[in-house]
Structure 1
Amino acid sequence: MSLATAAAGTAPEVAAAVRSALESVFDAVAATRTDTADLLAKVAAEGRRPATVDLAALRPGLHLRLARNELVSGVGFVAAPGLLTDVPAWLEWWQSGSDGDVRPLLLDLDPEQSAYADYTHWDWFALPRDTGERAVAGPYVDYLCSDEYSLTLSAPVQMEGRFAGVAAADVYLRHFEAAVLPMLRRLPGPAHLVNARGRVTASADPAHLAGSLTKGPDFAAVLRRARPGRFRGLRLVPCRDIPLVLVISPR
């Protein structure tokens, strides 16, 4: 089901349509995760640690995912600090330019000079690392990659049973909102979407703007239970298997 064209009018239909669209982005994340895990396993079987040169083997797959998924604006693997032998930190990251060209993200990750050297506190890295689960982070201004208001979908990658980094993909918020807002507006009450931390990812409710926090409900618990619930008049509908909750306020 296409988010842009779905004629969804009920909460379960909207939640299912959101799931369908973002699952396609998570498919890109999963493919990157598989490619990276296979590559790291091959390096380990050779009795050595990986280096940045090894990650170049991921590039054909990353380019293909950017070309095939219109929601994905950037995709790649972000290494855990200390994983690679030749640099303290690294993003094997590729993104689409406004002209459609695919280009690498080039960052100065020198910890003595760069404000971006420690990316481990960002939700898109910390949530998969700490929970072992995939995550939706944001929206936030992505100063690291695009300077665009974005969502980042991510999943943990392991090497020999240990956390090695995250596979991730970016979605520009304007593209996500363009897809979901028409459906949110068809619901019987003001509606918005939040992630596990209660951060609003898209909203047709003027009381809950994108990027703000919805306080009160335990959205992580709603996602764990994977069934609809209520909290002080709010209707909470998890987007099955996607870490987002549809929140509908009473009129």
Structure 2
Amino acid sequence: MGWSPGLATLDTEPETWVAGQVGGALEAVFETVAATRTDTTVLLDRVAAQGRRPASADLAALRPGLHLRLIREELVSGVGFVAAPGLLADVPAWLEWWQSGADGDVRPLHLDLDPGRSAYSDYTHWDWFTLPRDTGRRAVAGPYVDYLCSDEYSLTLSEPVHMQGRFAGVAAADVYLRHFEAAVLPLLRRLPRPARLVNARGRVTASADPAHLAGSLTKGPDFGALLTEGRSATHDGMRLVPCRGVPLVLVLA
């Protein structure tokens, strides 16, 4: 993926075109997340129609779809459904999560979620869980070191899942930061000013600006509000351009 001046028309600024291309790159991952959300919602509704609470064994029905999405979408390194605490009848917490191994095999994530033994038993404080839960919208969390799944610097894209109108958990997909940067840095480097991408909390997800490294925070603007409004703006000399359809903002120094 790259940028050519010939692709930007007279009424399209280069940064607007780049923001659109970034949105397109992540939209494919969000399609994977949306498909998982749909499958999970259908499954939970079917269980509710039977007059019972879902159990962890019910979520095994999601596995064929999860495996297929891991194979099809090259940016995705992990995908699944993370249940809200108390949703399932047999366990207090659960991740129906599958990931790609180094050799391309598809394998389950096995986590000890016993709060007496595991430091990672409470996943409800992570942005990939709290943002969809609190806003009702999809989110990009990170980059962060993903100690739960891969020990890799990663982004997690997620959307809320509901059961009978109540929050039931999140559908999500992981993208290794190195893969995301390989896709978007050539675009950012074509722009006339130092550029970076930030999420709704101002966390830098990729950067061609040496003054703002991936993982750092950009303070000042309300990026969440900007994404909700979906319009470009300026703030303290920064040019802010929401990426088409995804919760990232292109920031030019």
Q: State the TM-score, normalized to the length of structure 2.
A: 0.96
Of 187, 192, 210 in structure 2, the residue corresponding to residue 188 of structure 1 is 192
Distance 2:60 2:113 in 1: 18
Structure 2 residue runs of 5 or longer lacking an equivalent are: 9-13
Query: 1:35-50, aligned counterparts within 5 Å?
Result: 35-50=39-54
Distance 1:40 1:165 in 2: 11
User: 2:143 corresponds to which letter in structure 1?
Assistant: P
- What secondary structure sits across from 1:81 in the alignment? coil
1:166 aligns with 2:178: no
Distance 1:5 1:224 in 2: 28
Which residue of 2 is the match for residue 83 of structure 1? 87
1:20 aligns with 2:24: yes
Which residue of 2 is the match for residue 209 of structure 1? 213
Which residue of 2 is the match for residue 222 of structure 1? 226
Report how far residue 102 of structure 1 moved. 0.3
Q: Which runs of 4+ in 1 moved over 6 A?
A: none
Distance 2:28 2:179 in 1: 14
- What secondary structure sits across from 2:167 in the alignment? strand
Which residue of 1 is the match for residue 158 of structure 2? 154
Query: 1:99-118, aligned counterparts within 5 Å?
Result: 99-118=103-122
Is the 1:14–1:183 contact (alpha carbons within 8 Å) kept by the matching residues of 2? yes
Distance 1:52 1:71 in 2: 27
Q: How many residues align?
A: 246
Distance 2:3 2:57 in 1: 43
Report how far residue 240 of structure 1 moved. 2.2
Of 231, 235, 239 in structure 1, the residue corresponding to residue 235 of structure 2 is 231
Once the two structures are superposed, residues 156-186 of structure 1 have per-residue CA deviations (whole angstroms, 9 ceiling, x without a partner) of: 0001110000000000000000111111011
Distance 1:230 1:26 in 2: 28
Distance 2:82 2:37 in 1: 10
- What secondary structure sits across from 2:215 in the alignment? coil
Distance 1:56 1:225 in 2: 39
Of 56, 73, 83 in structure 1, the residue corresponding to residue 60 of structure 2 is 56
User: 1:123 corresponds to which letter in structure 2?
Assistant: D
Distance 1:5 1:54 in 2: 43
Is the 2:230–2:242 contact (alpha carbons within 8 Å) kept by the matching residues of 1? yes
Structure 1 residue runs of 5 or longer lacking an equivalent are: none
**For the structure 1 residues 6 and 32, does the alpha-carbon distance in structure 2 shift closer, same or farther, using more than 3 Å as the test?**
farther
Which residue of 2 is the match for residue 199 of structure 1? 203
Which residue of 1 is the match for residue 11 of structure 2? none
User: 2:84 corresponds to which letter in structure 1?
Assistant: A
Q: State the TM-score, normalized to the length of structure 1.
A: 0.96
1:96 aligns with 2:100: yes
Distance 1:228 1:150 in 2: 27
Report how far residue 5 of structure 1 moved. 4.1
Is the 2:2–2:186 contact (alpha carbons within 8 Å) kept by the matching residues of 1? no
Percent identity between the two aligned chains: 78
Which residue of 2 is the match for residue 73 of structure 1? 77
Is the 1:6–1:17 contact (alpha carbons within 8 Å) kept by the matching residues of 2? no
Once the two structures are superposed, residues 174-206 of structure 1 have per-residue CA deviations (whole angstroms, 9 ceiling, x without a partner) of: 000011111101101000000000000000001
Distance 2:35 2:74 in 1: 16
User: 2:238 corresponds to which letter in structure 1?
Assistant: L
Is the 1:49–1:84 contact (alpha carbons within 8 Å) kept by the matching residues of 2? yes
Is the 1:66–1:74 contact (alpha carbons within 8 Å) kept by the matching residues of 2? yes
Is the 2:2–2:187 contact (alpha carbons within 8 Å) kept by the matching residues of 1? no
Which residue of 2 is the match for residue 145 of structure 1? 149
Is the 2:24–2:244 contact (alpha carbons within 8 Å) kept by the matching residues of 1? no
Report how far residue 111 of structure 1 moved. 1.3
